[in-house]
Amino acid sequence: MISKFDDYPIHQSPEPIAHTATSDRFTYDRYWYNGHTQEGDLFFGIAMGRYPNLGILDCAFSIVVDGHQHAFYGSRRAPNEPSETTVGPFSITILEPMGRHRVVIEPNETGIECDLIFTPRTAAIEEGRQTKRNSRYLIQDVTRFDQFGFWQGVVRYQGKEINLQQRVTYGLKDRSWGIRQVGERYTGGAPLKHTDSVHFLWAPIHWQERCTLAGCYEDGDGYQWHNDQVIVPSYSTRDQIPAEEPGLIRWRGVVKHQLNMASGTRRAQSAIVTMADHGGDTLELQLEPILTFRMKGIGYQHSEWGHGLWKGELAIGSESWACDDIDPLTWDNIHIQQLVKARSGDQIGYGVLEQMNIGPYLPYGLTSWFDGAK
């Protein structure tokens, strides 16, 4: 099937763009964003994923404010036109590629609405390709890029309205695509005899004149099989951002981390993340968590609104919960982002510490799949 994108010279295979080049059912293409104020009084996340081999397009918006997390979910049969990024009242519009994006949730039965514009303050940052197999098949093969910026606009929920002002509402745009386990798992065949632990840490931080990104994947023994370490200049207006970033610094080494986990959880109550280049340069980031955002609010590991689950031709839903009333060690609650205040020398920054610690992890004394820190 021919689509609008076929009019551009972007083809990577003899197939039209609407036909993915792989038959893997876990193929996906996702928009992801977060946003937070400098004061730390709110945090929101946004996601939209297209799963071409499942025929599904889904989305979510979730906000933490006043001790509660509120979530909007949407899912539909994926349209044949891949440039159509609308699910019921939810839509994403690319105002400029690698530039401003607009996210809108029109009035709907959930009572959650928004009209937000993301404006970048840095060039886009390509992360290293993330590839991992289990004993039988490929479970992850992902390309991702990130872009730091600001939000402005309005959010409405439960009859309340929040106006977000640019320059004080920080955010991040994350685009990723490839293969990642989504939708229903493979069934049939001989059971897999072993499943690896997954330990993921990701810390994008806004500073006054630059931004930093440190992230890593490790196994249960603490072996770091992937990491990203980037320092990128920021700009006061989007017109100043170069198409190719001459000032970007990419380090090759090991991301070191010291997480002081809250007892009975896998959530850091303080952290030191140290970026380290193989040439000897280091940058220590001291992170102070302010509030916690459960990633299930935008579909991650959600039993009902998980990514790539068939919900029918069009489905809309919502839920809310008190942040202190959930079990932090269940499958759907263990993947989190925390809004953090960061310090590096005499500099102050604001950003995120994302953690997903599933399975035993020797460095921090976690011995089973879902035990908490002592």
The strand pairing partners of 109, in sequence order, are: none
CA-wise closest residue to 238 among 115, 103, 123: 123
CA-wise closest residue to 204 among 265, 262, 144, 154: 144
Q: What percent of the chain lies above the pLDDT cut of 90?
A: 82
* CATH class in words for 4-184+194-364: mainly beta
Whether the pLDDT of residue 246 is over 80: the answer is no
347 confidence band (pLDDT: 50, 70, 90): very high
pLDDT at 245: 67
**pLDDT tens digits, one per residue of 84-107:** 999 999 999 999 999 999 999 999
pLDDT at 196: 84
Say if residues 112 and 92 touch (Cβ distance below 8 Å): no
Report the chain's mean pLDDT, rounded to a whole number.
Answer: 94
pTM of the model: 0.95
Most confident among 39-43, 163-167, 198-202 (mean pLDDT)? 198-202
Say if residues 179 and 49 touch (Cβ distance below 8 Å): no
